[in-house]
């Protein structure tokens, strides 16, 4: 992986994390709810991404390269 692509990915991830924390702080200040209620949004987003990655891996026929092996 080229270095510039790796740096771009790291910058995007850090920016998204900072934006999530900032949005959570703004919502927590605006609405009087417990912190656990605000923490559900990032947890739900991470869960959705994990679900999509697993669904892509299971449904992709190119990932089944061990199915053709003789035992």
Q: What pLDDT, on the 0 to 100 scale, is given for residue 63?
A: 62
Q: Residue 70: inside a domain, yes or no?
A: no
Mean pLDDT of the chain: 82
Q: Which domain holds residue 31?
A: 3-63
The count of structural domains within the chain is 1
Report, as an integer, the average pLDDT of 13-19: 96
Q: What's the pLDDT tens digit per position in 38-54?
A: 678 888 999 999 999 88
What value does the mean pLDDT take over residues 20-28?
Answer: 84
Query: Shortest CA distance to 21 belongs to which of 41, 49, 48, 1?
Result: 41
Residues, the chain, total? 71
Is 71 among the domain residues?
Answer: no
pLDDT of the residue at 42? 82
Say what the pLDDT of residue 60 is. Answer: 67
Q: Which pLDDT belongs to residue 10?
A: 95
């Amino acid at each position: 992986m080229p270095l510039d692509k790796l740096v771009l990915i790291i910058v995007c991830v850090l920016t998204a994390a900072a934006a999530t924390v900032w949005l959570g702080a703004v919502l927590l200040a605006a609405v009087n709810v417990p912190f656990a209620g605000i923490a559900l949004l990032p947890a739900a987003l991470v869960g959705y991404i994990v679900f999509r990655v697993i669904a892509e891996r299971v449904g992709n026929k190119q990932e089944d390269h061990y199915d053709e092996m003789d035992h």
